Amino acid sequence: MSSNGGYFVPPGANFRGRTGIIHRGTIFIRYRTYPRACIDIGVWRPLVGSRSRGILTAVTTDLLLIDDSLTDLRLLMDMATAQHLHVAVAFDGAKGLQQAVLQQPRLILLDVRMPGMDGFAVCRRLKADPATRQIPVIFLTVADDLEERLRGFALGAVDYIGKPFHEEEVLARVGVHLRPPAKTSAAPAPPPPESSERDAVLVEAAQAVLAERIADPPNLEDLAHLVGSNRRRLNEAFQTHCGQPVFAWLREERLRRAHHLICRTETPISSIGEHLGFSTAANFARAIHDRFGLAPRDLRRRVVTARSREERTEGEP
């Protein structure tokens, strides 16, 4: 028995400390220490022409379902298994991320509203991780919630399926994104990422949020929640990979962007400071002077003068 959700398991098997739910031939296996996290899933198929009651077979996962609602999962399982799709499930975002890395599913159906790490945080982590960023994600959400749909598309979702589910819509949308797999020998699933790799994914996801909201960034607690982490771990990850905590990195990023806008564009100085989230023009001017030794206007003037001098020199015979 594997704990990565990629094997068939027979009904009546001795799970040794685990509890199981059997649903239409599918067995959800849960460790008792994680009562809300589905670890293993499999479909029992008999071995034709053998006295054996069945086999344990490694399979390619077509769908990974990440949803905290057992009712919704059962509906989706009914639809998927009727189409002979191989399905893995997770009841929360953290386990969903683990399953995505281990199983490399062809498609992920991801609920938006889950306790703890919500669907948006899971999607950010999936798209920040090189091991999972190519897996298409379809969000599951209330049908008329336009804001959730737009937010999901901005994070990289390829489609939405509205709740309550309609079988024709589910199968049509899943079918569009489940292209036939390439006819190549199956590659082994990549090993779980090391701690440093997971931290690098965290940092990249957080930097993407801060870059998008550089003028009005979330506080550390909210930022950690957005990327499915906590304040301490996020700061430690930044310290390891960037050599500074989160908001020290943000300050450096603001100054880097400010230098580019001052020296490489004609954007008004007053607009640059406001665009990058400096509270006042005076604070912006002071920050630029402290870092580059000149006030913003003087810095631009010096760069323009130096560039003009170079152009004249190049034009001389």
Give the per-residue pLDDT at 7: 31
First to last CA, the chain: 79
238: left (phi over 0), alpha (psi -120 to 50) or beta: alpha
What is the rounded CA–CA span in Å between residue 91 and residue 260?
45
DSSP per-residue string spanning 47-113:
-TTSSSS----B----EEEE-S-HHHHHHHHHHHHHTT--EEEESSHHHHHHHHHHH--SEEEEES-
Query: 62, 87, 67: which is closest to 77 by C-alpha?
Result: 87
What is the rounded CA–CA span in Å between residue 159 and residue 171?
13
pLDDT in tens, 153-200: 888 888 888 888 888 888 888 888 886 544 545 555 555 556 678 888
Domain 18-177 has CATH 3.40.50.300: no
What are the extents of the domains in the chain? Answer: 18-177, 194-243, 246-317
Q: What does the angle CA 254 – CA 257 – CA 258 come to, to the nearest 5 degrees?
A: 80
70 to 37, 76, 90, 189, 260: CA distances (angstroms): 11, 10, 10, 27, 51
Look at domain 246-317 and name its CATH class: mainly alpha
Give the per-residue pLDDT at 280: 92
User: With a cut of 70, which residues of the chain have pLDDT below it?
Assistant: 1-59, 143-145, 179-195, 310-311, 313-317
User: What is this structure's pTM?
Assistant: 0.52
